[in-house]
Amino acid sequence: MGEEVTMAETEAAMNEQAGTDQAEIEQTGTDQAGDTTRMNMIQAINSAMDVMMARDAGVVVMGEDVGYFGGVFRATAGLQKKYGKTRVFDTPITECGIIGVAVGMGAYGLRPVPEIQFADYIYPALDQLVSEAARLRYRSSGEFTAPITVRSPFGGGIFGGQTHSQSPEGLFTHMSGIKTVIPSTPYDAKGLLIAAIEDNDPTIFFEPKRIYNGPFNGHWDRPAENWSKHPAGAVPEGYYKIPLGKANLVREGEAVTMLAYGTMVHVCAQVVADTGVDAEIIDLRTLVPLDIETIEASVKKTGRCLIVHEATRTAGFGAELSALVQERCFYHLEAPVERVTGFDTPYPHSLEWAYFPGPVRIGQALKKILKD
């Protein structure tokens, strides 16, 4: 099964990568981050919006309960009190209206950050996102843009059932003109959100709510962890950004490449520690634009590729990843590309952990791909 790997070694590798990210920020001259503090992902997201609202008067936050209440997950807590009701305001329960207003604000020069309370309820906004936000730059020949960043919690693992657990990222990666970002740590969440807000094109920023308060290793029957001891829980208090389209090499390895994003990054890391497989783990960070160069280099080195995501299998983003790996790395592959995903069924409340791609199914897939 390859070289024995411990969880401590995996965390050390992630710690080293976090240091590398900070060094890259400093080298680009964009580091005004200042001191670091321990944050969970909710606090990091709040800090990103706070930093950007202080830097740019055109940044506005809007959505259901984001103002007075501070959001259902408290991601916007304190922002209305600090910046006023004209820059942080509550909206009616109309997702189509929220995004439609945001598109208009963007066309007039503002940088809206609308929140869709749960990704499950983003579908009424599809018309505005696809027909207006994604097309505005092209239909106006660049005269107008839609610099909006749509935040939305997504994914399962919190017993949200069919209506609060969906992972619709594959829909948006299919729509040209929209960028799709999914962080896996507080450090990444803040840096990526700042980069998304500064971007002049519409961005979907999906937040894995299962890891809002701490990394989740897939073992639902073990005590929950928080971000206080995780290296990526140390977040600079000021401004910094992580470029969109740049994946994070979480762990180097030789036996197999594991592609994941969001919560699944931590589940994969735990499986590697449990099984002792010398896997290379890549956190995609952004699905569009995709860092295909990092993926290609890794798969050509290992000769094997395992893709893990929580969304349903058919036409999920893993299918696109599999096709890209097949096209670019065909003569380097030692085994067929494998996928571990959610099932082609609505998220079952009573069978949450059977649906959720956990250590058992990922471990079985690793055994299969290394056996071939």
Angle at alpha carbon of residue 18, lines to 275 and 185, rounded to 5° = 70
Alpha-carbon gap, residue 21 to 242, rounded angstroms? 8
Instruction: Please name the amino acid found at residue 150.
Output: V
- H-only helix segments in the chain: 7-28, 41-55, 79-83, 95-107, 126-127, 136-139, 169-173, 186-198, 263-275, 292-302, 317-329, 352-355, 359-371
Annotated active-site residue in 164, 230, 266, 309: 164
Instruction: Please name the amino acid found at residue 251.
Output: R
* 3-class secondary structure, 21: helix
β-bridge partners, 234: 38
What's the token pair of residue 281? 């783990």
Closest C-alpha among 223, 277, 216 to residue 252: 277
Annotated catalytic residue 174: no
Alpha-carbon gap, residue 133 to 238, rounded angstroms? 29
Catalytic residues: 164
